[in-house]
Amino acid sequence: MNSNNSDAMATLLEHQQMAHTQNMTVSAAQRRERIQQIINLVVDHHQILVEAIEEDFGGRSQGFSIMNDVLGSLASLKYTRDNLEPWLESQTREVFSPYDQLGSTARVEYQPKGSIGIIGTWNAPLYTLLAPLACALGAGNRAILKPSEVTPKTAELLHTLFEQHIDPLLVSVVTGGAEVGATFSALPFDHLVFTGSTTVGKQIMSAAAQNLVPVTLELGGKSPVVVSNDCDLVETCKRLAIAKSNNGGQVCVSPDIVYFPKNKLQQAATLLLENFRQFFPEVSNNADIVPIVNRQHCQRVVSLVEQARQAGCEVLSSHEVASLSALIDADKRLPLQLIVSPSKAERIMQEEIFGPALILLPYDDIDDVISDINSRAKPLALYYFGEDESELNHVLANTSSGGVSVNDCLLHAAIHDAPFGGVGASGMGHYHGREGFLAFSHQRTVFVAPEHDPRQEWGLLPPHHDQFTAM
Ligand code: NAD
């Protein structure tokens, strides 16, 4: 469809909603078959999809895209396909006395909501569309996807593939930028899922509110890492270097600020840089380093680091480069940058970095770390490295975050059997697994009255004005 045409988008949604109304009951077998269609599309076309992503990023390796986007999406789709059957079963609930004594029943049924709008982002251009889609289809819905314009080849390819292989009344793809996104989010969907920045998330919620469309917002933030005094520093720094290099740091749950015990910070910095160099001996033209997606985003990451440097912060680099700025015009692959103790006023302390840079902050007292974390917006992820169970529990009990990984980073986000989502500024609602199914289902209570109406005997018929006066 002409993606900029708002009338066409509205008509498509109307048709999907009409198709839903005419076929509201979607059996488990139908849901599995619908999910299988998407699995087949991804499997059959994974090669051209990873080629499109490679082109969009100016060199993201196909191997990385297979691991991250193709296998990640397939895992979500397959998990829902293989587990949805028991989720569909209605649940019997207790009926409030006295009706329970008279043969009444109550149950909760899980109904598809209708048509779900899904807005994705570029850093995982398949996964941020197809993982929510898995849950939406598992819940018996239809969907319209809006990929990010920052990865235009992938967006266009998805549009073509869905048009060729999937009934548009089941799943359609519309393409375009912020303007199309704004029109899209103002449509009267039955639920809207948005993955992207906190700033745009607010606009999405405001647009959806005009139609009272419920939203799931998968946003970002500055995910902190708490490194305990008793951690294995060598292993911790290796795992941090792996996590920070993932997708060139362009991951919503990427570690952003790391709190090290003061006496360990120097050694930690050396280990982080060494590990990064070991994984990536060269930066330029190294196919294993994911480039920053485009010039503008690369410029943004570089300027965050350079502003901190100009403000007098110590900035350490894994590789010697003449200037970071020169890499923007080269292949947009950046070395790991460590920014030591920037002041709170620095831009790098305010904005999500979304690139291969880490802020290192020293601490003496774990409670100061907790206060500092709590002084910022609630993050999407929180990480703890160490074996001190009571300190870990203290950190968990006194902080809030979308999710947590202990002694590693990112991995809680890959569990299909557990809810994934943010809290506060990092988002609202969840997807993955049963929680995703519930998010896109209407939970409908059905009460069935007994044959015998007890209200007469219980004195519950009008007039009521002189009842219960003794209470
Ligand atoms: P973005 O908010 O700029 O764009 C995201 C999507 O919104 C794109 O499809 C874009 O076209 C659309 N859009 C832009 N302006 C819009 C508007 N006014 N109305 C409606 N739609 C609009 O974000 P981005 O730069 O593409 O993505 C990076 C952000 O996404 C980071 O903050 C990152 O942490 C976050 N993210 C979150 C998750 C998660 O699962 N929580 C996953 C990946 C990325």
Position 2 scores a pLDDT of 47
Please state, rounded to an integer, the average pLDDT across all residues of the chain.
Answer: 95
Given the residues 54, 218, 346, 352, the one annotated as active site: 218
Residue 357 in 3-state DSSP?
strand
> How many Cβ atoms sit within 10 Å of the Cβ of residue 99?
19
| Tokens describing residue 439 | 């998010």
For the Cβ of 252 lying below 6 angstroms from any atom of ligand 1, the answer is yes
Helix (H) or strand (E) holding 107: strand 105-112
pLDDT at residue 99 tops 70: no
Task: Decide if 218 is catalytic.
Answer: yes
Position 4 scores a pLDDT of 53
Q: Residues 327, 195, 8, CA angle at the centre, nearest 5°?
A: 110
What are the two backbone dihedrals, phi and then psi, of residue 122, each rounded to the nearest 5 degrees?
-85, -20
How far, in Å, is the centroid of ligand 1 from the Cα of 212?
21
pLDDT at residue 466 tops 80: no
Nearest to 341 by CA among 357, 325, 361: 361
User: What does the pLDDT look like over 133-175, one tens digit per residue?
Assistant: 999 999 999 999 999 999 999 999 999 999 999 999 999 999 9
Share of residues in the chain with pLDDT > 90 (%): 91
More confident residue, 145 or 471: 145
| Tokens describing residue 378 | 């609630």
d(CA 133, CA 428): 17
Position 452 scores a pLDDT of 83
Nearest CA, atom 9, ligand 1: 148
d(CA 420, CA 430): 5
| Tokens describing residue 65 | 């895209």
- 220 by Cβ neighbours in 10 Å (0-12 / 13-18 / 19+) ranks as buried
- Residue in 6, 73, 121, 432 to alter for ligand 1 test, most ligand atoms within 8 A of Cβ: 121
340 φ/ψ sector (left φ>0, alpha ψ -120 to 50, else beta): beta
Residue 104 in 3-state DSSP?
coil
Q: Which atom of ligand 1 is nearest to the CA of 253?
A: 34
For the Cβ of 154 lying below 6 angstroms from any atom of ligand 1, the answer is no
User: What does the pLDDT look like over 375-407, one tens digit per residue?
Assistant: 999 999 999 999 999 999 999 999 999 999 999
d(CA 191, CA 141): 10
pLDDT band with cut points at 50, 70 and 90 for residue 457: confident
How far, in Å, is the centroid of ligand 1 from the Cα of 417?
25
Position 360 scores a pLDDT of 98
For the Cβ of 261 lying below 6 angstroms from any atom of ligand 1, the answer is no
Q: Which atom of ligand 1 is nearest to the CA of 198?
A: 32
Q: Which atom of ligand 1 is nearest to the CA of 426?
A: 41
CB 303 within 8 A of CB 323: no
Nearest CA, atom 5, ligand 1: 196
pLDDT band with cut points at 50, 70 and 90 for residue 1: very low
Position 71 scores a pLDDT of 98
User: Mean pLDDT throughout 426-430?
Assistant: 96
Q: What pTM was computed for the model? A: 0.95
Residues, the chain, total? Answer: 471
Query: Could you give the residue ranges of the DSSP H alpha helices within 58-211?
Result: 62-65, 71-88, 127-138, 152-165, 178-185, 198-209
Q: Which atom of ligand 1 is nearest to the CA of 297?
A: 25
- Residue in 133, 179, 197 to alter for ligand 1 test, most ligand atoms within 8 A of Cβ: 197
User: What does the pLDDT look like over 235-267, one tens digit per residue?
Assistant: 999 999 999 999 999 999 999 999 999 999 999
Nearest CA, atom 16, ligand 1: 178
Position 358 scores a pLDDT of 98
Q: For the chain, what percentages of helix, strand and coil (3-state, to nearest 5) are there?
A: 45, 15, 35
Output the DSSP codes for 190-252. Answer: SEEEEES-HHHHHHHHHHHHTTT--EEEE----EEEEE-TTS-HHHHHHHHHHHHHGGGG--T
Q: Which long-range contacts (CB under 8 A, 24 or more apart) does 454-463 make?
A: 454/98, 454/99, 454/102, 458/98
Residue 448 in 3-state DSSP?
strand
User: Mean pLDDT throughout 348-354?
Assistant: 97
pLDDT band with cut points at 50, 70 and 90 for residue 102: confident
User: What does the pLDDT look like over 178-229, one tens digit per residue?
Assistant: 999 999 999 999 999 999 999 999 999 999 999 999 999 999 999 999 999 9
User: Mean pLDDT throughout 317-327?
Assistant: 93
How far, in Å, is the centroid of ligand 1 from the Cα of 425?
13
Given the residues 135, 231, 237, 252, the one annotated as active site: 252
User: What does the pLDDT look like over 281-311, one tens digit per residue?
Assistant: 999 999 999 999 999 999 999 999 999 999 9
CB 125 within 8 A of CB 153: no
Nearest CA, atom 21, ligand 1: 181
Task: Decide if 252 is catalytic.
Answer: yes
